[in-house]
């Protein structure tokens, strides 16, 4: 049952030998990819893709009714565990899933299954060692309640290939429901039963080429828990330093940086498809930029043809998303709760024009299409495959070099020119604008490498630079306003232009104060 599994997946849970022998009959490891599909799509494209492979295919169809249980205070979900009772034409089964790992859309997680004859879970039938310490099983049994359920039709295609590789492709359509709300299910799950995991990526790419899709990073259970907690998507998170540890190599840091960037990017895409918020589009662009910086940062020590292909594809994606920066400025100008609303909201014609400009930008740019188009999905699949294959290990490189010395050199080189530039007595608006891209890259390097050093010193160093960066973004927003005013016939145009110029001068004064402070802060590396 464990054919083709990486050793790390098996070592992630440690049991005594006696418990290990008992749990072999209960435990499975899922390794799967998930593609989210538009509602109403049928399985014709999937059938076309599968016909391209030389394989024996067994097809079956059935309906699954899954109940998910937790305590009123979410004890299991806090432990990153899920308790499910599944009923179908095949019988009733209870399952406990532990957190496992999800990397760039590839899911690996242990699960424990027991056949039962009731729709209510019987926790005593599981081996006691799968539960966290200090959990009273009898007390937990009395406390669990159904928090949501899923009801969907599943069509499965079990592919048996000649190279001892079996893959199950499940086409699911239905609903996730709580007592108060519902969400739709329309997805394809590709699960490796045995053999080489590479077939999952090959299948996923072929499906993405013929069907609009989005690489899914959330299970049905995770979506159900969000729904039960009255959330439509994971909460928005600000960037933080990648979690590096003492003794990490350059490869470790590279992989962690890619995983972090991809998760940030994919979560932002998922949120936007649910919320339609511009802030989520900004996060999509931010995640892609951080990923691009990660690839560039480690290019000296990690080499592979696949990396070059991914870098080129990502550069194309970033160019397609470049409009997001101006959209962010337009949103700031047209928001009734934004920093400019007190003045601009008084001018109805301008305010309406800006809102129309925002809507027009979204209509022309079609972010929903950009998220589900094949090039985007295939790029993410390739990244996921690369993180699994680690092709750079076949090339010469210094990827096992300790990360700290590498980080010191890279941070020193990136920040040196910026710090040297700060020493100039005169600094104009155009100087700050010219600094924007380099400063953005330097701050991204802090995210990717900063955890190698003292957190308090890093935060002290970074704070004034973040202030400068945000100040430059405000300058860019005011420049957008001035450019739009020049091309429109609105009342009081000259007054608004004068007001915006005063705002820019005041803003430059504040940025100058941050510049003076930043020039005196000691480096953290």
Examine residue 245 and state whether it is found in any structural domain, yes or no: no
Question: Is pLDDT of 26 > 60?
Answer: no
Cα–Cα distance measured from residue 104 to residue 388, given in angstroms and rounded to the nearest whole number: 10
Last residue of a domain, one of 228, 263, 284: 228
Here the CATH number for the domain that contains residue 446 is 1.40.20.10
Cα–Cα distance measured from residue 227 to residue 215, given in angstroms and rounded to the nearest whole number: 20
Token representation of residue 150:
């899923």
Q: Are 254 and 224 part of one and the same domain?
A: no
- pLDDT of the residue at 170: 95
Examine residue 160 and state whether it is found in any structural domain, yes or no: yes
Q: Are 273 and 331 part of one and the same domain?
A: yes
Dihedral of the CA atoms 292, 296, 301, 304 (nearest 10)? 60
Here the CATH number for the domain that contains residue 94 is 2.40.320.10
- pLDDT of the residue at 217: 84
Token representation of residue 411:
């941070």
Q: Are 209 and 309 part of one and the same domain?
A: no
Average pLDDT of the residues in 23-46:
74
Alpha helices in 373-492 (DSSP H): 374-389, 403-422, 429-449, 455-486
DSSP 8-state secondary structure symbol assigned to residue 132: P
Digit-coded pLDDT (tens) for 392-404: 999 888 899 999 9
Cα–Cα distance measured from residue 306 to residue 289, given in angstroms and rounded to the nearest whole number: 19
Examine residue 238 and state whether it is found in any structural domain, yes or no: no
Average pLDDT of the residues in 195-205:
91
Q: If we measure between CA atoms, which residue out of 175, 203, 176, 170 comes closest to residue 188?
A: 170
CA end-to-end distance (rounded Å), the chain: 47
Q: Are 218 and 317 part of one and the same domain?
A: no
Residue 262, domain extent: 250-518
For CA atoms 258, 262, 263, 264, the dihedral sign is positive
Q: How far does CA 261 lie from the centroid of its chain?
A: 7
Own/partner contacts of 172-175, CB < 8 Å, gap of 24 or more, are: 172/220, 174/64, 174/150, 175/150, 175/151
Q: Are 222 and 259 part of one and the same domain?
A: no
- Which is higher by pLDDT, 326 or 16? 326
Question: Is pLDDT of 9 > 70?
Answer: no
* Residue 103 banded pLDDT, cuts 50, 70, 90: low
* Residue 102 banded pLDDT, cuts 50, 70, 90: low
- pLDDT of the residue at 4: 40
- pLDDT of the residue at 421: 78
- pLDDT of the residue at 6: 39
Q: Which residues, 6 or more positions from 519, have their beta carbon under 8 angstroms from its beta carbon?
A: 419, 422, 423
The angle subtended at Cα 524 by Cα 521 and Cα 525, nearest 5°, is: 140
Collapse the DSSP code of 373 into the 3-class scheme (helix H, G, I; strand E, B; otherwise coil) and give the result: coil
Examine residue 61 and state whether it is found in any structural domain, yes or no: yes
Query: Residue 406 CB: number of other CB atoms within 10 A?
Result: 22
Token representation of residue 269:
């895409």
Dihedral of the CA atoms 465, 468, 472, 477 (nearest 10)? 110
Examine residue 485 and state whether it is found in any structural domain, yes or no: yes
| Domain count for the chain | 2
Q: Are 466 and 500 part of one and the same domain?
A: yes
Q: Are 164 and 286 part of one and the same domain?
A: no
């Amino acid at each position: 049952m464990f054919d083709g599994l990486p050793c790390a997946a098996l070592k992630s849970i440690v049991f005594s030998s006696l418990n290990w022998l008992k749990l072999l009959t209960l435990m499975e490891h899922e390794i799967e990819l998930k593609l989210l599909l538009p509602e109403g799509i049928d399985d014709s494209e999937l059938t076309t893709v599968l016909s391209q492979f030389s394989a024996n295919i067994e097809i079956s169809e059935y309906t699954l009714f899954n109940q998910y249980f937790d305590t009123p205070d979410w004890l299991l979900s806090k432990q990153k565990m899920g308790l499910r009772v599944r009923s179908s034409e095949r019988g009733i089964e209870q399952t406990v899933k532990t957190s496992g790992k999800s990397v760039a859309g590839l899911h690996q997680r242990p699960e424990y299954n027991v056949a039962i004859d009731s729709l209510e879970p019987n926790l005593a039938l599981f081996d006691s060692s799968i539960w966290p310490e200090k959990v009273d099983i009898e007390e937990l049994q009395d406390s669990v309640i159904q928090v949501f359920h899923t009801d969907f039709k599943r069509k499965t295609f079990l592919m048996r290939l000649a190279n001892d590789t079996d893959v199950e492709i499940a086409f699911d359509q239905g609903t996730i429901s709580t007592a108060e709300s519902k969400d739709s299910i329309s997805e394809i799950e590709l699960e490796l039963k045995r053999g080489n995991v590479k077939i999952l990526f090959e299948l996923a790419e072929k499906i993405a080429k013929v069907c609009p899709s989005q690489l899914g990073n959330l299970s049905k259970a995770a979506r159900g828990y969000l729904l039960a907690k009255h959330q439509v998507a994971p909460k928005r998170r600000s960037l933080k330093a990648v979690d590096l540890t003492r003794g990490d190599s350059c490869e470790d840091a590279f992989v962690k940086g890619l995983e972090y960037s991809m998760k940030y990017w994919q979560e932002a895409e998922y949120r936007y498809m649910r919320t339609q918020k511009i802030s989520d589009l900004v996060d999509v662009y931010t995640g892609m930029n951080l990923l691009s910086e990660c690839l560039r940062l480690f290019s000296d020590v990690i080499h592979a043809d696949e990396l070059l292909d991914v870098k080129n594809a990502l550069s194309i994606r970033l160019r397609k998303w470049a409009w997001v920066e101006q959209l962010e400025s337009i949103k700031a100008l047209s928001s009734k709760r934004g920093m400019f609303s007190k003045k601009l909201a008084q001018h109805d014609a301008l305010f309406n024009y800006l809102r129309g400009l925002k809507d027009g930008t979204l209509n022309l740019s079609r972010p929903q299409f950009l998220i589900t188009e094949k090039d985007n999905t295939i790029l993410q699949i390739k990244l996921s495959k690369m993180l699994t294959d680690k092709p750079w290990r076949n090339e010469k490189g210094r990827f096992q070099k300790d990360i700290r010395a590498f980080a010191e050199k890279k941070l020193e080189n990136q920040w040196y020119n910026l710090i040297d530039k700060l020493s100039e007595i005169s600094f104009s608006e155009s100087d700050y604008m010219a600094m924007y891209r380099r400063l953005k890259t330097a701050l991204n390097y802090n995210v990717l490498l900063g955890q190698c050093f003292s957190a308090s010193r890093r935060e002290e160093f970074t704070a004034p630079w973040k202030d400068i960066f945000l100040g430059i973004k405000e300058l860019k927003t005011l420049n957008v306003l001035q450019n739009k005013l020049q091309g429109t016939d609105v009342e009081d145009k000259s007054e608004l232009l004068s007001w915006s110029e005063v705002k820019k001068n005041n803003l430059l004064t504040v940025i100058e104060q941050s510049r003076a402070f930043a020039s005196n802060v000691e480096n953290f590396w």
